[in-house]
A and B are shown apart, each in its own frame.
Chain A
Amino acid sequence: MSELSTAVPSSQGVSLWDDAWARLKKNRLALLAATFLILEVLIFFLAPLIAPHSYEVQDLERTMTGPSWRHWFGTDTLGRDLFARVLYGGRVSLTVGILASMVSAIVGVIYGSISGFLGGRWDNLMMRVVDVLYALPFIFLVIILMVYFGRNFMLLFVALGLTQWLTMARIVRGQVLTLRHKEFIEAATVLGIQRKRIVFRHLIPNTLGPVIVYLTLTVPAVILEEAFLSYLGLGIQAPLASWGTLIKEGVDVLDLAPWMLFFPALFLSATLFSLNFLGDGLRDALDPKGAKD
């Protein structure tokens, strides 16, 4: 009897998050990716303390020099320290990626949950709109937007975010459709809670798992889009730099100074890689049924 009573605390319910964390811990690659990303974020945001040079100051006696003790990643055509530029560029790229993904998540979650919750004819109509929008190549609209109104940081990430919300809306809508017939929603309805409150207090929090997974996968997509725009000269404007602009600068002098392409491209690719792996890991951890393989 006494044995049984001591056993009770240990059989405490395991929450979804504890369970997911336990599964994620077993996924070495995802953990490695997460560690890399955390380190990267720390380094980027401590960049002013870490980088020995400013990202703007020109060392005119050393333009386009290769990696050395003085300039770890070499210097660019104007003699600016590439190490500092890669760190500051990463700061810009990650910030754009995260902010734009947030925009897409907010729009997608609200749209998807309303569609799923209303159901029936409204749901049908709202999802048709999503289907149609799916077929539109938003990047062209973003390019036009950037050319005419652009070179504006706010506009850039709002525009990029708006290209990415469709899948989020679909995922959330699917979740809400399955959740809304669950007992706790019925209970909430019976208690006479307002519909708005049901959506925001009860439905949306329960869709958080898939939202986080998809958010992690949206960040690299947005970073890539921003780099694409910057490569075309339509994204971040000087003196600010993102990895896209650095890559563009590197490509222009590729045969003379290959390190100018190498370092930003390495950081960009490693980051995209890690975010994709972390996203996959989180998906497996949060949704063991949907796990691949």
Chain B
Amino acid sequence: MRLTYLLKRLAVMIPVFFFVVTLVFFMIRFAPGGPFSSEKSVSPAILKNLEMKYHMDEPLVRQYLRYLKDLLKGDLGPSFKHANRTVNEIIAEALPVSVELGLLALMWALVIGITSGGLAALKPNSPFDYIPMTFSLLGICFPTFVVGPILVLIFGVWLEWLPVAGWDTWADRVLPSLTLGFAYAAYISRLTRGGLMEMRVQDFIRTARAKGLTETQILTQHALKGGLLPVISYLGPALAGIITGALVTETIFNIPGLGRFFIESAVNRDYTVVMGTALLYFSLIFICNLLVDIVYALLDPRVKYV
């Protein structure tokens, strides 16, 4: 892993980011309607004042340049709909919630996925293999917005074990994070099994077996490192998927995260919040992909980045 590679990746990011800012900015602005168009009984004078306050009366290009300038300073501007709040404040409040949700989901996905995939590989063609593999097939075909409500129905409504909405206690976090992680647990389970099965026929595993190590030792000490490579490279897409999947999960469970602000502000035409949250999403996904690449290169010496 060379530093120049990292710098190169970051350098590519800058024009792409700029491109995204421009695209989203003009996409929103050229669309019909505006943040104040749904406001009832606003006199023209007030509307004019509002527009002046937010610099909406200036030519579009001026507004765009102003936005860029503020963006460079890290200022995402005031919200159009949430009075007296800036986009930075909204993000500061919502981002930790979404990050927590995402990390918990990822944890579920990894723990459930690797354990069940490992068990399946340890005892192939046994119930340990069939049951998780059947489940993982289900996981791939049942989207978040079906799994979530079903979990709510079973554990929230019928059994009344867990709360069905909110984000205050630890119990509130169980169902949303499970919902979000479920599909990825399923896929990771399959990848783990596949990767480990491939390792089983390698020479170094045969050597380990000849040395008299038990199957469990072989698995944990030798096969797992190589067998998990497909899982690592899947983490990039998985993280991106978890971030987008959170949009729906946050809606289902009424969680005050970024996704809800994004959707809500998109519908309300709260220009600055849409821009701010969308840009944050783009940056998050970019950073996640970069981190995954770094981890992959650290684990697999065969990978060379130039």
A-side interface residues toward B, CB under 8 Å? 132, 135-137, 139-141, 143-145, 147-149, 224, 227-228, 231-232, 244, 247-248, 250-251, 254-255, 258, 261, 265, 268-270, 272-273, 276, 292
Contact = CB atoms under 8 A, between A and B. Distances in A.
A258 B153 contact: yes
A132 B16 contact: yes
Interface stretch (B36-44, B108-116, B135-143, B174-182): B135-143
Contacts of B31: 147-149
B240 A147 contact: no
A148 B240 contact: no
Contacts of A261: 146, 149-150
A258 B152 CA distance: 12
A231 B248 contact: yes
Nearest to B15: A132
A232 B27 contact: no
Given A137-B285, A273-B141, A147 B266 contact: yes
Interface in B148-186: 149-150, 152-153, 157
A254 B149 contact: yes
Contacts of B27: 141, 144-145, 148
B33 interface: yes
B251 interface: yes
B41 to A, nearest CB: 24
Nearest to B285: A137
Most chain A CB inside 10 Å of its own CB: which residue of B27, B137, B146, B251: B146
Given A148-B28, A254-B152, A268-B146, A137 B244 contact: yes
Contact of B244 (A139, A265, A292): A139
Contacts of B153: 254-255, 258
Given A132-B16, A247-B145, A255-B157, 9 more contacts: A148-B32, A228-B145, A228-B248, A231-B251, A251-B149, A261-B146, A261-B150, A269-B146, A272-B141
Contacts of B140: 272, 276
Contacts of A224: 143
Contact of B33 (A144, A148, A269, A272): A148
A269 B150 CA distance: 14
A34 B269 CA distance: 44
Given A137-B244, A140-B262, A144-B27, A247 B146 contact: yes
A144 B16 contact: no
A137 B240 contact: yes
A229 to B, nearest CB: 10
Contact of B143 (A143, A228, A232, A276): A228
A140 B282 contact: yes
B50 interface: no
A276 B141 contact: yes
B267 interface: yes
Nearest to A149: B31
Interface in B1-38: 12, 16, 20, 23-24, 27-28, 31-33
A143 B277 CA distance: 13
Most chain B CB inside 10 Å of its own CB: which residue of A132, A143, A148: A148
A18 to B, nearest CB: 30
A135 B244 contact: no
